[in-house]
Homo-oligomer: A and B are copies of this chain.
Amino acid sequence: MPSFDLRRQLEDLRDGNRSVEDLLHFLQDYPYQDLEFARIDHHRPLRTGFPEVVLGRGKTPAQIAKIVESLTGRGYPVLVTKADRAAYAAVAGPTPSAVYHGLAQAIVVPGPEPAACREGVLVMTAGTADLPVAEEAALTAGLMGSPPQRVNDVGVAGLHRLLSVLDDLRRARVIVVVAGMEAALSSVVAGLVAAPVVAVPTSAGYGASFEGLAALLGMLNSCAPGVATVNIDNGFGAGYLAAQMNLMGQQP
């Protein structure tokens, strides 16, 4: 515990076991250590199973491999999102325990022990083209201890498909809706359940979907309250939020 460390070092100084110069040097970094506490505070969930996450896009395979290597072995899993097979090939050398999830386009280095498992998250897609983003969301939530139930291909064009899973929706504590095109699914689901809905617009579609803009605007303008929107194709962000919410009711 950092606080403990600090107290002990102050006691060391008081007791003559440490010099002022030595402690000054330590405290020169103190704000950062203090914020290191913050970081630890913030990262506490990670130690309980939350992954350290790297966005693969925009990084070279060599950069990704190096970052993954430095993060591996710290007691929690490592997740690289938007990573192609070339990145995985580079990672697998120095980090052979890394696993590639092809559909989600993600690399995972499992943690030392399986994450605690809490039910309550449901990840659903409107169509087959939304699957990669949903996989990313599910993978993330799972690594954070909330392996989700999956419901696929329940777009509003066939409402009966949606209604046939209504019981599952009502049982969920958090629902991640992954949808492209007009993304009406998030509004419809949010109108049917009491749980918060995390809405992920996808770039699935063409023409006036404008690479996900239509879906994004649709989700932001939901006529039903209780919809939390994330970036287009941001499965990771949605899975993270869903797990974060799902853990809120847990006893400390």
Chain B residues with CB under 8 A of A96:
none
Q: A94 to chain B: closest CB distance in Å?
A: 17
Cβ of A244 to closest chain B Cβ, rounded Å: 5
Q: How far is the CA of A227 from the CA of B240 in the complex (A)?
A: 9
A interface, how many residues as a size bin? 35 or more
Contact indicator B32/A160 (Cβ below 8 Å): yes
Please, how many angstroms separate the alpha-carbon atoms of A235 and B135 in the complex? Answer: 31
Cβ contacts A10-37/B at 8 Å (1 or 0 each): 1101101000100110011111101110
Are A129 and B59 in touch, CB under 8 angstroms? yes
Residue pair B42, A181 in contact (C-beta under 8 Å): no
Known: A164-B32, A194-B44, A248-B173. A182 touches B128 (CB 8 A): no
As for how many copies of this chain the complex holds, the number is 8
Take A214-B217, A228-B229 as given contacts and tell me if A34 and B35 are in contact as well, using a CB distance cutoff of 8 Å.
no
**A24 contacts across to B, CB distance below 8 A:** 3, 6-7, 10
Question: How far apart are the CA atoms of A38 and B28 in the complex, in Å?
Answer: 12
Subset of 12 A-B contacts with CB under 8 Å: A30-B34, A35-B163, A35-B164, A38-B159, A45-B194, A157-B187, A159-B188, A181-B222, A207-B220, A209-B231, A225-B236, A246-B248
Interface residues of chain A, those whose CB is within 8 Å of chain B, are: 3, 6-7, 10-11, 13-14, 16, 20, 23-24, 27-32, 34-36, 38-39, 41-42, 44-45, 53, 55, 57-59, 63, 67, 82, 126-129, 155-160, 163-164, 166, 170, 173-174, 180-184, 187-188, 190-196, 198, 201, 203-234, 236-237, 240-241, 244-246, 248-250
